[in-house]
Amino acid sequence: MSSPVPQPRTRVTRIAQEAVDKARLSVVPRVRTRAPRVPFVTLVSLVLVGGIVGLLLFNTSMQQASFTAAALETQADTLAGREQTLRMELDELRDPQRVAMQAQQMGMVIPPAPVFLDLETGKTSGVRTPATKDDAIQLVPPAPPMPAVLAPAPTVVEVPPAAAAPEPVVEEQAQATERRKKNRDR
């Protein structure tokens, strides 16, 4: 610390003293600055409430979607069923037997042999054979004959020449014919 040049030393000491004075730390009074709590709490609660409400809404909407899905599924099922039923009806309408019945009722028959008409030349090939009623095919098999028990032979009553008895006989025969007709219709 000793210096060969004492003079300037005094000055230096003074400056140092000042610096030391300046640099001395002193206790500053404590200032408590609180960050405002309200915004944070509000934010957190908002997030929470938002989340919960969102979750609730999401859940509800999923539940709703599930109900809608179930309803739509049922509807799709019903519609698919209806479509298939309709297609079945269509197929039954296309049944060759049904078409033939109607065609034959309208007087159409399937010809025994085809004849071709060339649209360009107007010429026909094949032998032109008239399609007649005889070409109609039997579409419904005839009813099997009734067993004798159910279709007894008509009772024939000898009519006395001068009596007024013919009425019941005619009636009986008519009934028998009627009955046979009915059988045929079956």
Partner 1 sequence: MLRLRIGFVLIAIVLSFFGARLVQLQGVDPQAYALRAAAEGAARVTLVAERGDILDRNGVPLADSIKGKMVVADPALTADRAPEIARLLSDRLSVDYFRTLTALRGRQEGSRYEYVARRVPSTLASDTLAEIDAAGFSGISLQDDPIRDYPAGDVAANLLGYMGTDEPLGGFERTFDEQLAGVDGEATWQSTSGKGVRIPLRESTLKAAQNGAPLRTTIDRDLQWFTQKVLAETVQQYRAASGSAIVMDTRTGEILALADVPTFDANEPSEADEEDLGSRAMNDTYEPGSVQKVLTAASLIDAGRASARQRFKVPGSLPRQDRVIGDWFDHGNIRLTLAGIIAKSSNIGTVLAADAFSPVELVSYLQRFGLGQRTDIGVRGETAGILTAGEAMTSQTKDRVAFGQSLSVNVAQMAAAVNTIANGGVLVSPSIISGSAVTDDGTTVGTDVATRTRVVSKQAARATAKMMEKVVDPEDGVAPAAQVPGYLVAGKTGTAQRVNPDTGLYDGSTSVSFGGFAPADDARFTVYVVIHAPKGDAGGGSTAGPVFSRIMGYVLGRYGVEPTGGKPSRLPVEW
| 3-class secondary-structure state, position 41 | helix
Cβ 88 vs Cβ 80: under 8 Å: no
Comparison of 16 and 99: residue with beta carbon closer to partner 1: 99
Q: In whole angstroms, how close is the CB of 85 to partner 1 at the nearest point?
A: 5
Would you say 129 or 175 has its CB closer to partner 1?
Answer: 129
Give dist(CA 94, CA 67) in Å, integer: 40
Q: Which amino acid is at 55?
A: L
For the bound state, the minimum distance from the C-beta of residue 98 to partner 1, rounded and expressed in Å, comes to 9
The continuous run of DSSP H or E covering 117 comes out as strand 116-117
Residues engaged in binding partner 1 (CB under 8 A) = 59, 62-63, 65-67, 69-70, 73-74, 77-78, 80-82, 84-85, 87-88, 91-92, 94-97, 100, 110-116, 125-127, 129, 137-139, 141-142
Q: How far is the CB of 160 from partner 1 (least distance, A)?
A: 42
Q: CB-based contacts of 29: which residues, under 8 Å, 6+ apart?
A: none
